[in-house]
Every structure is written in C-alpha cells, then in structure tokens.
A and B are shown apart, each in its own frame.
Chain A
Amino acid sequence: MQMTGAKIIVETLIEQGIDTIFGYPGGSVLNIYDELFKASDRIKHYLTCHEQGASHAADAYSRVSGKPGVVIATSGPGATNLVTGIANAYLDSSPIVAITGNVAQALIGKDSFQEVYIAGVTMPITKHNYIVKDIGKLADTIREAISIATTGRPGPVLIDVPKDIQLAKCDFVPKAAPAPKGPGKVSDEAVEDAIELINNSKRPFIYAGGGVVISEASKELLDFAERVDAPIGLSMMGLSAIPASHPRNLGMTGMHGKFAASKAMSESDLIIAIGTRFSDRATGSKLEFTKGKRFIHIDIDPAEIGKNIPAYVSVIGNVKDVLTRLNTLLPSFERPEWHREVAEIKESPENNGDVPSDHLTPRALIKEVRKHMPEDGVVATDVGQHQMWVSLYYSFTAPRTFITSGGLGTMGFGMGAAIGSCIGRGRKKTVLFTGDGSFHMNLNELATAVTNNLPLVIVVMNNGVLGMVRQWQTLFFDKRYSNTTLNRKTDFVKLAEAFGATGYRISCADDLSSVMKKAFETEGPVLVDAVIGCDEKVLPMIPPGGTINDIILEG
C-alpha cells in the first residue's frame, strides 16, 4: 500500500508495539503530526512544554515500563533541545528512540531556517543514529532503530527524517514486531574462572548496579547472594533491584553511600560487580579501592570490562543469563566469620547515626512520603542533595521504581521524568522529589502534568540554596558560597495554583503528617513546598578520590 513517509513513520511505530510517544510539533514534523492526529486512537501523543521535558519523559517511560520510549521533535531548536535528554539516556542505558524532522534534502547544508546537523551533534551520545535519505529504507530504519535501542546494552538512537522524505510516497509492507531474544551465550571458561575465584574468597562482596534492574534479574541476584553467602551493596542505578529491607542488602555504596556498604566493600577480598561500571562516584580513589582485592565483572557490554577497574575475571552477557548460569553451577557456601563481621558493621553506630530532630528533616519528609506509597509506586527525583537523601532513606522495594539521573546528573530531569513515569505506569500515583534549584530548571512541565491531570505528588525540598554545591563549598571551599544562595522570591504554593495544580506548604515538622496526608488525597498534580534548613548535609560522604577512612559521618 502506498503511503507518505510521515504515515510510514506512524504506522511503523504502531506496528512495533509503540502506543505512547512524547514530543513537540514544528515546521519540519507537521506531516508526522498530521498522521498522529489521524491515528490518535492507536497511538497517544503527549505534548510537553519543551522538548527537553519530552525527552526525559520518554526516558523515564522506558525505565518504568521496560518498553522503548519514543520522542519526536522538529528540526533545529527542537532537535537541539533533545540533546540533554538523549545524553541522559545514553549515560543511564535507557532505550529511547528520538525522531527529528529536518529541512528538505535540497535545503540541507545551506544553513536553512531551523536547520541543524543533529546527527552530527548526537553522534557521541547515541548508540547509533540515522539520516534517512531514501523513502524505501524508512520503515526498516525505524525497525532497526528500535531493535538497536532495546537490545544488548540499551541506549538512545536518533532518526533524522528530512521533510521531503516525509512527503515522498512508497509501498509500506508491515512486518511483525521482532520476537524477544532468547538467552545469549555465556562463556563456560569465564564462568568456571568466576566460580574458582568465589571458591577461593573468604570475604566476597556483591556490588550490583542498573544492569540488574534492566535485565530484571532481582530474583537471580538474591539466589546468587545466598549461594555465595555474600552481602550486597548497590550503585545508585541499582537501588531498586532488591528490597531495601532484605537482610543481605547493605544499601548504596560510594560517595554518599551507607557506611556499612562502603565499609564491607573495603573489607572484602573479592568484589563481584554485576551490571555496573565502577563510576568514579562509586569507587573514590581507584588505587585504594582495588588494593588487596580481586574483581569479577559481569556485564553485557565488553567495553566496560577493564575500563574503570581492571577485572580479574569477566563474564560477558545479559546479567540474568549469567547469574542463572552461575546459580546452577555454584555450590552453597557458608562463611560464618564474614557473616558476623558484616553484621557487626551493619549494627555499628557509624551505620545508624540518624538522630531524631525537632526540625523538618529531609529524612522525616522522605519517610513520611514512603508511608503513603505502595511497594511498586514510582519515585522520580531531580539531581542534588534531595536525590541522595532519597537514595539513602526511601527504602525501595520493587525494581523500576526509582527513576533518577545517574550518569549525567541532570538537574531538571525530574518533572519530565515524573510525567513519563506516571504515564508508563498507567497513571498511578507517582512521587517527584526535587529541590528548589532543580525544580526551577524545568518547572514549566507542571503545565503538562495539569493538562493531563496526572496524579503527581511533587515534593520540593526548599532550602533556598543549591544545597549540594553549598555542601562542597562548606567542606572544601571555606564557606565561600559563590552563587549558591538563591535569594528567589518564588512562592511555590502560588506557583502550583497558577499552573492549575494544588499547592501545600510544610514549614515545620508538626505539619508534616497532616499536610502529606492531604497531598496524597488530592486528585491530579499537587506540589508540596517543604521548607528545610540550608545547611542540612548529605552524609555520610566520602570526599572525591577518598576512601572509607576519609568518610565524613557528622556535619
């Protein structure tokens, strides 16, 4: 059947099982939007206020649902506004497909109106990208893009479609969505080597990351930990992989990790890293981090092996496949001494230093929100202190419930992410924790939440400063607070109301439970302006390049 390129784009997306997309129209994608209008009963488009919000929404949508997130933007500024979102998805291995319109091929290279070489701009932040120059290849390009985004280590793919390709006509032959891939090959030799190292270890430590969440290997991870008889520390991206309350779970490791996780990690003789890439925020001083330890590195991406930490043994493959394989071959170990040592670390005062306070503390705020959320309820964050507090205190229970910007650390991620999360979870109650700094970056998307009447609870931890940077200035810059004291007069309650949302304020600890109760009973988007002190710190903290011995426990 003959179709225009614009129609082929929409039909191919539907054919591949895409029923939700995010985006913003413009001159170079008018024809695609015309087809979206006609197909609106089969594919739902969410209009955001800014393309960046759409890109974060698509990213979060894919993280909560496991399906690819699709975002559409027009040429030029529309496309460049996606760049932060694409980079964010790239650093956190999120499968998004970005479709951009471009000027007609005859106008390309002439600095035409709203012309940007977006394929060149996004080359280093995509798994792959395309400029479609032949209408005959359009449908297969979209199919291939979805496949590249979602297979192996997931990541973003961009397809740039010049306007004349959208107008050209071609036969469209539907193809079935590809069957899910079976388990991949895992090297026998590598598995044997890994088992030998586990066998020889006295104090093994499992360090699990986002790969466990992506490959849905939570059960396999816990089975593995039982067999090896090892504690588990998680990277921030791995936080929702296993329940926070699980006895083997020591919590987050790294710069702002739990004392017990970092301490047990440093005491171990074997680190079994699973679906994680040893970010500098997770390791601190590499030299000290690796001293006296062996490493088994399990990851789907061969390039991660040895990139940041030299691995003694590596097993390449989907984390779920590798763990399943190991679990069938591993005997059950018992390491009572190590067990006791870890239990002592866990019970130590350093790991349990949170003192009750009369003030409204971030911890109390987070614990209160937690009470209102079901186990599978999704929490999104922005970037900064509030993000670390949520990582430390929220007690995640189910995978794909913590949506945060890990690798890129994108302030402004939160609003788009909360919208995408909520939509990806069938409009269930979703929480966004943000700070007054991050929220100011992309608060425009409050309008999107209101338009779609999304049940978002937005908790703004409002301390009037850029808290994370201020914390560094306090600790390392002799309290010279350069450009981190905001002095803004924004009234977040009025702001919420102006956007058509509901706004509440919590100014003291006494109001916490009653206001939070009201907020969770409110329909549609609700903002809670939670006023906290400007010198609340994220602790513990291992200073950059430091070790567990440098840990700061008290502010």
Chain B
Amino acid sequence: MDTKFILSILVNNEAGVLTRVASLFSRRGFNIDSLSVGETESSKVSRITISAKGDDYVKEQIVKQLMKLHDVITVELMDLENTVMRELLLVKVASERGELNEIMQAMSIFRAKVIDLSPGSVTLELTGQGSKIDAFIEFLIPYGITELCRTGITAIGRGDYILKNNLKEND
C-alpha cells in the first residue's frame, strides 16, 4: 500500500548532485511530491528532503539506489512519529478592503504573517506542517489567490538524534 514518506539525504555539495538524486527517482519510475535542498552546518554538505509516496518496495529500493550514488553521504527514511516537518508558504491574495479584516482574523488563528501589502493585494507568509498549509490555502481560495508558492517539506529528527550518525559504510 502506498504511504507518504520523507527521505533526508546528506550529499556532497558538488555541482549536479541534485540532478543525480532527482533523475534517479524518474529513472526508477518513482515520483517526488516535494523536494527541498540547502547547505548544512558544513559548506561541503547539502541536505535534501524529499517527500514521496510509495509502498515498502519503493521505499526500500529508493533508499538502496540512493546509497549507491557516489555523492550521497547518507540516506534516512525519517520516522514520521519522531520528526519535525515544516513547510513555508508565500501566497498573494487579491483582497478588497472589507475582506482584509476577515483574512487578518484567520491569519491570527493560523499564525500567518503579512509580508507585503498593496492597495489591491496582500502577500502572506505561513510556516507549518503540510496539512496546516493546505487548510490555510483552502480558506483563502474564496478570496482569490493570484499567486502561490510553497517550499516543499523540510524535516529534522526530534531530540538528540542527528542524521550523520548514520553514515554510509566504507566511506
């Protein structure tokens, strides 16, 4: 049965690494729901967080195939119970004067922020779990979303657990 899963991948910060990781998914016939990437505490290492869906076979294969890439340092199938996941949403709404108040009220419930305001539109920022972001978008649709972007999920283990404890063998 297909379930959602999150992969955290530490990679050498080399040109082309993102392509190698992303193309591996398409070559093996697996889909990516979201992908986010950035440098880590070491400038030599980047961290990629991939959200995808698949059954146990897909999960096992993708982890093993990723481990074979020379530039991949470690791959972790995140334990969703013990992982903090966040996503950033930026959304622009064409708002009439009267509507702004309603939006403001919802914003305080969702803990969103206004990051830009102009006579015809308001731009909002929200950080949170995917489900919270989905709910906020759902709320905004009637007001007229003119532009929307979200970063994709980034994730980190709870407590003392750190990813590099799980380094690839032989490297």
Q: How large is the interface on B (under 10, 10 to 19, 20 to 34, 35 or more residues)?
A: 10 to 19
Note all chain B residues with C-beta closer than 8 A to A124. 23-24, 27
Asked if B111 lies at the interface with its beta carbon under 8 angstroms from chain A, I say no
A302 touches B70 (CB 8 A): no
Per-residue contact bits, chain B 69-111, to A (CB 8 Å; 1 contact, 0 not): 1110000000000000000000000000000000000000000
Bound CA span A115–B24, Å: 25
Q: Is the interface of A mostly helix, strand, loop or mixed?
A: mixed
Given contacts A128-B71, A131-B15, A303-B67, 17 further A-B contacts (CB under 8 A): A120-B16, A123-B20, A123-B23, A124-B23, A124-B24, A124-B27, A127-B70, A128-B69, A128-B70, A131-B16, A148-B70, A152-B170, A302-B64, A303-B61, A305-B64, A306-B57, A306-B60
Asked if A216 lies at the interface with its beta carbon under 8 angstroms from chain B, I say no
19 A-B pairs, CB-CB below 8 angstroms?
A: A119-B16, A120-B16, A123-B16, A123-B19, A123-B23, A124-B23, A124-B24, A124-B27, A128-B69, A128-B70, A128-B71, A131-B16, A148-B70, A303-B65, A303-B67, A305-B64, A306-B57, A306-B60, A307-B61
Note all chain B residues with C-beta closer than 8 A to A152. 170
Per-residue contact bits, chain A 296-313, to B (CB 8 Å; 1 contact, 0 not): 000001110111000000
Q: For residue A508, give the distance in angstroms from its CB to the closest CB of chain B.
A: 50
Q: For residue B113, give the distance in angstroms from its CB to the closest CB of chain A.
A: 39
Note all chain B residues with C-beta closer than 8 A to A148. 70
Q: Name the contact of B68 in the complex, choosing from A120, A131, A301 (C-beta under 8 A).
A: A301
Given A302-B64, A303-B61, A306-B57, check contact A120 B19 (CB 8 Å). yes
Number of CB contacts from chain A to chain B under 8 A = 33
Note all chain A residues with C-beta closer than 8 A to B61. 303, 306-307
Note all chain B residues with C-beta closer than 8 A to A306. 57, 60-61
Given A127-B70, A128-B70, check contact A303 B64 (CB 8 Å). yes
Closest B residue, CB atoms, query A148: B70
Closest A residue, CB atoms, query B27: A124
Bound CA span A127–B61, Å: 16
Bound CA span A160–B67, Å: 23
Interface size on A, residues (CB 8 A): 16
Bound CA span A307–B64, Å: 10
Note all chain B residues with C-beta closer than 8 A to A120. 16, 19
**9 shortest A-B CB distances, which residue pairs?**
A303-B64, A128-B70, A124-B27, A302-B64, A303-B65, A303-B68, A123-B23, A123-B20, A124-B23
Bound CA span A124–B27, Å: 7
Note all chain B residues with C-beta closer than 8 A to A131. 15-16
Bound CA span A123–B27, Å: 10
Closest B residue, CB atoms, query A305: B64
Note all chain A residues with C-beta closer than 8 A to B24. 124
Q: For residue A277, give the distance in angstroms from its CB to the closest CB of chain B.
A: 13
Note all chain B residues with C-beta closer than 8 A to A127. 68, 70
Q: For residue B61, give the distance in angstroms from its CB to the closest CB of chain A.
A: 6
Bound CA span A307–B30, Å: 14
Closest B residue, CB atoms, query A152: B170
Bound CA span A133–B16, Å: 13
Per-residue contact bits, chain A 278-316, to B (CB 8 Å; 1 contact, 0 not): 000000000000000000000001110111000000000
Bound CA span A306–B70, Å: 22
Q: For residue A130, give the distance in angstroms from its CB to the closest CB of chain B.
A: 9
Per-residue contact bits, chain A 102-133, to B (CB 8 Å; 1 contact, 0 not): 00000000000000000110011001100101
Bound CA span A266–B15, Å: 49
Note all chain B residues with C-beta closer than 8 A to A301. 68
Q: For residue B93, give the distance in angstroms from its CB to the closest CB of chain A.
A: 39
> Which A residues from 127 to 148 make CB contacts under 8 A with B?
127-128, 131, 133, 148
Q: For residue A104, give the distance in angstroms from its CB to the closest CB of chain B.
A: 17
Note all chain B residues with C-beta closer than 8 A to A128. 69-71
Residue of B61, B67, B68 with most chain A CB atoms under a 10 A cut-off: B68
Q: For residue B15, give the distance in angstroms from its CB to the closest CB of chain A.
A: 7
Q: For residue A303, give the distance in angstroms from its CB to the closest CB of chain B.
A: 4
Q: For residue B17, give the distance in angstroms from its CB to the closest CB of chain A.
A: 11
Closest B residue, CB atoms, query A181: B170
Bound CA span A305–B68, Å: 13
Q: For residue B149, give the distance in angstroms from its CB to the closest CB of chain A.
A: 27
Q: For residue A232, give the distance in angstroms from its CB to the closest CB of chain B.
A: 27
Closest A residue, CB atoms, query B20: A123
Q: For residue A9, give the distance in angstroms from its CB to the closest CB of chain B.
A: 20
Bound CA span A264–B57, Å: 29
